[in-house]
Amino acid sequence: MSPQLPARPTCNTLILSDLHLGADMSRAREALHVLRNNDYRRLILLGDIFADLNFGRLKKEHWKFLGYIRKLSNPKRNVEVVWVEGNHDHGLAEIMSHLVGVRVYEEYVWEYQGLRHIAVHGHQFDGFSVSNVRVSYLIGTLAYLQLQKWDSKNKALTRLLDRLNTRWLRLSPKVAEGAIAHARHRHAARIFCGHTHAAMNRADHGVEYFNCGAWIDAHPTYITIGEAGVEIREYIEPSHDPSSEEELEASDSGTNEFDDDSGFMEEREYGTLAADLGTRSR
> Where do the domains of the chain lie?
10-281
Pick the CATH number of 10-281 from 3.50.50.60, 3.40.50.970, 3.60.21.10, 3.40.50.300: 3.60.21.10
At residue 164 the predicted structure's pLDDT band, cuts being 50, 70 and 90, is very low
Q: Using CA atoms, how far apart are residues 11 and 133, in angstroms rounded to an integer?
A: 36
What pLDDT, in 10s, does the model give residues 210-249? 999 999 888 999 999 999 999 999 998 877 654 444 545 5
At residue 166 the predicted structure's pLDDT band, cuts being 50, 70 and 90, is very low
Higher pLDDT, 120 or 94: 120
Higher pLDDT, 164 or 42: 42
Q: Is 187 helix (H, G, I), strand (E, B) or coil?
A: coil
| Mean pLDDT of all residues in 248-274 | 48
* Beta-strand pair 80-84/10-16: unpaired
For residue 37, how far is the Cα from the chain centroid?
Answer: 16
Smallest Cα–Cα separation from 95: which of 49, 143, 59? 49
* Beta-strand pair 200-204/207-211: antiparallel
Q: Using CA atoms, how far apart are residues 270 and 51, in angstroms rounded to an integer?
A: 18
At residue 161 the predicted structure's pLDDT band, cuts being 50, 70 and 90, is low
**70: Cβ contacts below 8 Å, ≥ 6 apart:** 99, 100, 101, 265
**Element spanning 230, H or E:** strand 229-234
What is the DSSP track for 18-37?
---BTSTT--HHHHHHHHHT
pLDDT number for residue 158 = 56
Strand partners, 202: 209
Percent of the chain scored above 70 by pLDDT?
66
At residue 133 the predicted structure's pLDDT band, cuts being 50, 70 and 90, is very low
pLDDT number for residue 267 = 43
Residue 129 near residue 87 (C-beta atoms within 8 A): yes
Smallest Cα–Cα separation from 233: which of 243, 223, 219, 248? 223
What pLDDT, in 10s, does the model give residues 61-99? 999 999 999 999 999 999 999 999 998 787 777 777 777
Phi, psi of 234 (to 5 degrees): -95, 135
| pLDDT, averaged across the chain | 78
